[in-house]
């Protein structure tokens, strides 16, 4: 917007500017604004391309890992749910659960986060171990 204004002031023949350096100054400033706008647009597209490339690399890294990076750690004092992006921990007093059909709905941090688990997501006896810990240490919701 400023570039158009400065270029218009520089190129329109105004009677008060004839023979003065002001039209040249306005032209120069107008071309600087245009150059600055092109640099900003170029930097935007370069950063966008670089960001998408980094996101794709992260996704490919997670897909190619052979190790299952999701863990549930059960202690006497708390439950910890870990995945490659974050770790969430809650004490048993702020944890409750509900069993609906074949699903366990786990509410942690005073029901601010919910997780849904099925037996197919666990190895051999781990699902029953989770149920046992929940029944022993947390509250059941009816």
Per-residue pLDDT of 88-99, as tens digits, reads 888 888 889 998
Proportion of the chain above pLDDT 90, given as a percent: 15
Higher pLDDT, 10 or 90: 90
pTM over 0.75: no
Task: Output the CA torsion sign for 87, 93, 94, 95.
Answer: positive
Residue 45 has pLDDT above 90, yes or no: yes
Position 67 scores a pLDDT of 55
Cα→Cα distances 48→34, 40, 57, 83, 89, Å? 21, 12, 14, 27, 34
- Domain residue ranges in the chain: 2-64, 71-140
Give the other-Cβ count within 10 Å of 136's Cβ. Answer: 10
Residue 68 has pLDDT above 70, yes or no: no
d(CA 29, CA 105): 63
Burial code (b: 16+ CB inside 10 Å, e: under 16) for 11-33 equals eeeeeebeeeeebeebeebbeeb
Q: Is residue 76 helix, strand or coil? A: coil
């Amino acid at each position: 917007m400023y570039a158009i204004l400065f270029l218009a002031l520089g190129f329109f023949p105004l009677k008060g500017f004839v023979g003065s350096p002001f039209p040249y100054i306005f032209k120069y400033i107008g071309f600087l604004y245009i150059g600055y706008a092109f640099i900003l647009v170029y930097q935007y597209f370069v950063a966008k391309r670089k960001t998408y490339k980094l996101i794709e690399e992260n996704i490919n890294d997670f897909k190619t890992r052979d190790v299952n990076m999701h863990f549930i750690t059960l202690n006497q004092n708390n439950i910890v749910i870990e995945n490659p992006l974050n770790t969430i921990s809650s004490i048993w007093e702020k944890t409750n659960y509900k069993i609906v059909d074949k699903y366990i709905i786990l509410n942690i941090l005073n029901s601010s986060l919910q997780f849904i688990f099925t037996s197919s997501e666990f190895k051999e006896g781990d699902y029953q171990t989770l149920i046992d810990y929940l029944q022993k240490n947390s509250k059941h919701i009816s």
